Structure 1
Amino acid sequence: MGCSVCLWLVVSFCRVWGMGRGTRETVLGTLGKATVLWIPQEFQDLTQRFGVAVWKRDTEDPHSKDVLLKYLDGNYTNYNPSQNRFHSSNFSLEILSTKRQDQRLYEYITSKDTEEKVWQIQLEVYEPVSDPDIQVLSWALANDSCTVTLNCTAARGDNVSYSWAGLEASTSSPCAHNGSLLHLSYHLNATSLACACTASNPVSSSAVTFNSSACSFEQRGSARPGPNLVLAVAVPIAVVLIFVGVFTAIHTAHGLKCFTRMLCFCDC
């Protein structure tokens, strides 16, 4: 008898605990776009059968909730019609333009006789990633090979991750890498080598391609001398040109003076 009572208490406790917590899923929302909070078929059937349901949302106060919508026997009251749209065909709630503050825990509550059924939805909101940009941080030439360090970054987006891959989609590609930085080494004749960087997060992704031929053309210019070399060559040349200019100007002025005197003498 004692064991039966204990078992009954355990089962009752589990039922109450399960009812209190509800069943939860996670929905990903995109900032600035519509997000639909769906409910499973079981809850739709219960709502159609008993005709009662409520949409709620957590607030910053753990002891209170926002009531978003009440449904009763085919009629409903939407307390935020400018922000939410209710679909009576499947009892889903659509957030018209998802904002940061919409990232909350939502509850759909319906009844089954004397039992309350709760479906919980945790909404996570992400800003989509913008088109990434590839920067050449450094490069070096050695034995007809180019060694370059690339950095891939997206200006906007939440929780952005970066990955590199070759366009030929091979795991052995020198481009295959996870992370924004890629250290790449290739022969200058490998003009067909191209690496794609993909910036992504849970709601979006965008890619950009780096073509090795552009790097090769830029490097073969050896062409781009460093600033110290430019100064070492340009400064002496500038000094020489200044001296030549001054010397020419002095002698030109002296010649003009002599020529003027000669004209004067002839007139006299």
Structure 2
Amino acid sequence: MGSGTWLRLLLTLGALWGVGARETVLGILGEATLLRIPHQLRERTVEFGEASWKKIMEEPLKKKFLLKISGGNPVEYEPERMRFHEQDFSLEILNTSRDDQRLYEYSVNKGSEEEVWQVQLEVFEPVAEPSIRILRRDSSNGSCSLALRCSSQRGDAVSYSWDSRDGGSGGICSGNGSDLALSFPLRSAAFGCVCTARNPVSSRRAAFDAAQCGSQHRGDPGVGTRLLVPLVVLGVILILILIVIVVIVTFRDTCGQICSVKCDQDPSRVTPDPSQVTPASATIYAQVQRVQKPQGTVPNATPLSCTTIYAAATGPPLAPDGAPRSPAGSPTPRGRPALSQEPTTVYASVTLPVA
């Protein structure tokens, strides 16, 4: 017997035993999922008008009705989550969740017989866009060695595969799994590798340009990882020198301002208040000369001699406001300056009379 005969026989036995054929439907998490029935069961439903959709909660002990058709009229039990399509008797799950991953059953009541169709729903989260990370990179003697890893942040049952971007490069990018090892001469780095992340409900791709290996090292072998530490040390030294210069300049400006303030406050440069000046002593030098008598009158004439008299004098007393006071009854003539309080030397000549 052919395969078609065996299939019809299994369907017939399943109908007699209350167990029908089963198919698997793949649902996407968060999206709508449609559960369909074969064309043959649609005809049976139209013919008999008695059918139902059920969800098996704890196989095979408990089943929950989602929809009943009686006399051609449908009755929905979860209208907020399920939508029934009368044109083909399919059942749509509006927002598929992981709890919806169960076995569903559609049955047609043909009097004493029941024909059953079972749908196994499997729910998957779609794959997110993958990213390619360089695990290792070596460039020497004109060749490049790379170790790449492809990964996706989301998705259920994700598998990875590698291929060339343009289908060429001699299959250097071919591989399965998330990791790929490459080794090629830098002069032939004009190709790209593509990573594909897929699961049963989605597929996403990411590309890697092989020229990224040579662009860092070609023509500039001195800029490598081994020079990173000296560059960091040099940067730290330059920063420390800059800090020292800033501190010195700041200290110098501050010291200059302090010295300027101190110099402005030098007591020797302060002009004294005239009101607080004590009248100074004045030294008077006086020269006294004796008058000589006529010759012949005094036989024993004594030679003329001069006598110097030193006297101390002070200026007039100060007024209450600190200004010099003029002598009583002798007002200061107009146009003459007031008496000075500084020391004054007076030279006077006095002639003594002859005895």
Give yes or no for TM over 0.5: yes
Inter-CA distance 60–150: structure 2 relative to 1 (3 Å threshold): same
Larger helix percent:
1
Which sits farther off after the overlay, 233-242 or 135-144? 233-242
Secondary structure in 2 aligned to 1:130? coil
Query: Partners of 1:99 and 1:224 in 2: how far apart?
Result: 53
Query: Partners of 2:208 and 2:98 in 1: how far apart?
Result: 34
Query: Partners of 1:206 and 1:100 in 2: how far apart?
Result: 22
Per-residue CA deviation, residues 194-234 of structure 1 (Å, 9 max, x unaligned), is 000000000000001001122321333546532x5432465
Inter-CA distance 237–68: structure 2 relative to 1 (3 Å threshold): closer
Partner of 2:224: 225
Q: Give the TM-score taking structure 2 as reference length.
A: 0.61
Q: CA deviation at 1:16?
A: 6.7
Query: Partners of 2:186 and 2:82 in 1: how far apart?
Result: 58
Secondary structure in 2 aligned to 1:128? coil
Partner of 1:181: 179
Task: Please list every run of 5 or more consecutive structure 1 residues that lacks an aligned counterpart in the other structure.
Answer: 1-10, 254-268
Query: Partners of 2:102 and 2:66 in 1: how far apart?
Result: 13
Q: How many percent of aligned residue pairs carry the same amino acid?
A: 43
Query: Partners of 1:94 and 1:171 in 2: how far apart?
Result: 47
Conservation of the 8 A alpha-carbon contact between 1:132 and 1:208: yes
- Correspondent of 1:70 among 64, 68, 91: 68
Partner of 1:117: 115
User: C-alpha root-mean-square deviation of aligned residues, in Å?
Assistant: 3.0
CA radius of gyration, larger in = 2
Q: CA deviation at 1:189?
A: 2.0
Inter-CA distance 17–224: structure 2 relative to 1 (3 Å threshold): farther
Secondary structure in 1 aligned to 2:52? strand
Partner of 1:141: 139
Query: Partners of 1:178 and 1:26 in 2: how far apart?
Result: 27
Per-residue CA deviation, residues 33-83 of structure 1 (Å, 9 max, x unaligned), is 111001001100100000010100011474111110001222111111111
Partner of 1:266: none
Which sits farther off after the overlay, 111-120 or 174-183? 111-120
Per-residue CA deviation, residues 137-171 of structure 1 (Å, 9 max, x unaligned), is 11101221111011000000000000000022259
Inter-CA distance 94–141: structure 2 relative to 1 (3 Å threshold): same
Which sits farther off after the overlay, 74-83 or 18-27? 18-27
Query: Partners of 1:236 and 1:49 in 2: how far apart?
Result: 89
Q: CA deviation at 1:115?
A: 1.1
Secondary structure in 1 aligned to 2:74? strand
1:97 aligns with 2:92: no
Conservation of the 8 A alpha-carbon contact between 1:19 and 1:117: no
Inter-CA distance 240–101: structure 2 relative to 1 (3 Å threshold): closer
Conservation of the 8 A alpha-carbon contact between 2:129 and 2:152: yes
Partner of 1:30: 28
Aligned residues: 239
Secondary structure in 2 aligned to 1:59? strand
Q: CA deviation at 1:97?
A: 1.0
Conservation of the 8 A alpha-carbon contact between 1:129 and 1:206: yes
Query: Partners of 1:235 and 1:163 in 2: how far apart?
Result: 43
Secondary structure in 2 aligned to 1:189? helix
- The 5-angstrom pairing of residues 69-88 of structure 1 reads 69-88=67-86
Secondary structure in 2 aligned to 1:138? strand
Inter-CA distance 89–147: structure 2 relative to 1 (3 Å threshold): same
Query: Partners of 1:212 and 1:16 in 2: how far apart?
Result: 58
Query: Partners of 2:95 and 2:240 in 1: how far apart?
Result: 67
1:58 aligns with 2:56: yes
Secondary structure in 1 aligned to 2:45? helix
Secondary structure in 1 aligned to 2:233? helix
One-letter code of the match for 1:161? S
Secondary structure in 2 aligned to 1:33? coil
Q: Determine which structure has greater relative contact order: mean sequence separation of CA pairs < 8 Å that are 6+ residues apart, divided by chain length.
A: 1
